[in-house]
Amino acid sequence: MRSITSGGRGSILEFLETLVASFDPLEFQASVELRRRPDSVPDAAILITNKKWASSPSGRALFDLLSSQREIVSVRAAGQKITLRLADHLIASAGEELEAGDLATSGLLAGQNYIVDFCDPNATKALHLGHMRNIAVGNALVAALRAAGARVVRQSVICDIGRNVAEAMAGHLQFHNGETPEASGIKPDRYVGNCYAEYVRRLDTAAQPDAAAPDAPLARELQARSDLAEDLLRRWNRGETEARELWKKIRSWALQGQEQTLRRLGITIDTPLYESDVFDTVNLLAAQGLERGIFRRTPDGAVVYETGKKEYETVPLIRADNFPTEHMRAAAIWYRLQKQAPGLDGIIHIMGDEWLAATFYWESILSNFPPCPLYRIYHRIPYGMVFFQGSKMKSSGGDVILIDDILDRLAESDAVRRLSGPESAPDPDTIAQTIVLGFFLNRPAAKSIELSWDRMLDETQNPGWLLARAWSNACAKAQTFAGDIRDRANVSDPSYRFAVIQSHRFRRLLQLTVSNRDVSILMHYLVHLAQWYVTTTAGPPLHRVMRTVLQSGLCALGCLPLAKAELPSRAASGAAVALKEEEFANPV
């Protein structure tokens, strides 16, 4: 049996597909389907498009080939379908591997290298559930790629300088000068967020930007102001020691707290990229762009890029006070990243859909500074906004639910503690992590999410509860696999047989998930399997099978901490490559 499962020919599904593929696909146009119901007698079916297949020599040869396999004990033809009953020894061997914790998938993308860019926070606040969608989707793709055998670097672009960071600095000076998060007893990123929100609420009386405008994501830093935040930003840009020291303190508090939250979710960022590190590259790009006529300087001294598109004709790059906008800072980061292309098979960028247009502008800008090989393997994954009480979450308004708060509330709830109660069940924090991530992974990425405490805590609206309950039940009730033949591989039990066969769809669905970059494929499979399992009477062998399948699935969705990560490959590791001035010597 090892030849069909993890050791050689892959899954049962792949084994049957290989047999069918040995015949002319144009003649048969056949597909393989594994049983979808536990009460079905056939274990698999071959569906054939050609109505006259049975009368052809190839059709009879296919039937004979299937009948000759020792792994198949019954072959029946009915219309355009061949139904198969698999040998008990095949199911038993596959089941034993599952009961022992073996669900091999790592060969699917072995040797491939990826970067997944996600999270991308501002260093001004604690991470809230508006960030959670980005984190959930990005981390799930990382986990799915790694489960398939790829080597993946988790990357995050951090906005650690700009108008918003200066507002957090100003809020600290204006309202909390001399205080520290430690002395205040407040988590450091939450403390910085309080400084930022308090400053914006009390002092920012400028009209709010239009959320639908092309520059909505960075409209605040484009508005002309004369206040403490702008003064601090100018002083930072001039390199003044006092402003730089204050910035370092605020930045470190924010990043320290954000890192703590990510670690609660089992996530670490391999390569953080800081906007504050690319000002030399910004200056080089700006100088070359102006010299070659790619950029234009406006009468007030600002630098812009003309897109030639009516919907957004002018992209602001450098303000009149010589401070680069987030467009320019991001373009500089992605220009440096072009050096990472050799040896990479893909780079996946998770972003809110309000940033989608901006990424196209950055690519358009950088196309004038070739080479840009990374864009040949660059994939955008935009997602819809997260709304709270009908409005987009705004840290400056204070109407956000922090990730830490929802994890704390869930971990302390009676419902989670009941799931964690039995011996061998997961701990409350891990169950809470699964519940939160499951909520965000169940929605199509393109659609917005209406969020509330009630929706998160409602088991009928959050499938994360179902997954947590199924996994907790499997862990608690699966007795240790002792190799006793009387307590394993119960192939006469239709439910056991169904679970084993369904597990052999896992490899294919994982493959589809990574090739389509759509984690909902694997999520929906896991939810449906969990829904069946929690309503099924089961003994230890079935619980052990489901423990393996559920744990493998939750790990492949990032809902459980991944196994110890592989070291990133040489081509995909490290921070962005430094850009030297001489690289602009021969512009194209």
Work out the angle at residue 520's Cα, subtended by the Cα atoms of residues 499 and 530, and round it to the nearest 5 degrees.
Answer: 30
pLDDT tens digits, 151-181: 999 999 999 999 999 999 999 999 999 999 9
Nearest to 545 by CA among 556, 555, 558, 530: 530
SS3 430: helix
Sequence-ordered strand ranges (E) for 280-345: 295-297, 303-306, 314-318
Mean pLDDT of 303-315: 90
Model confidence at 566: pLDDT above 60: no
- CB count in 10 Å sphere of residue 120: 21
Cα–Cα distance for residue pair 554/470, rounded to 1 Å? 11
| Chain CA centroid to CA 140, Å | 4
Q: What's the start-to-end Cα distance of the chain, in Å?
A: 59
| Chain CA centroid to CA 254, Å | 22
Cα–Cα distance for residue pair 587/396, rounded to 1 Å? 43
| DSSP assignment of 529-568 | HHHHHTTS---HHHHHHHHHHHHHHHHHTTSSPPSSPPPP
Cα–Cα distance for residue pair 97/191, rounded to 1 Å? 50
Cα–Cα distance for residue pair 44/19, rounded to 1 Å? 13
Sequence-ordered strand ranges (E) for 87-126: 113-117
* Cβ density class 214-223: b for 16+ within 10 Å, e for less: bbebbbbbee
Cα–Cα distance for residue pair 341/364, rounded to 1 Å? 18
Model confidence at 336: pLDDT above 50: yes
pLDDT tens digits, 364-420: 999 999 899 999 999 999 998 888 766 665 555 556 789 999 999 999 999 999 988
**Window from 183-187, 338-342, 460-464, 563-567 with minimum mean pLDDT:** 563-567
Q: Mean pLDDT score of the chain, rounded to an integer?
A: 87
Give pTM, 2 decimals: 0.89
Cα–Cα distance for residue pair 283/286, rounded to 1 Å? 5
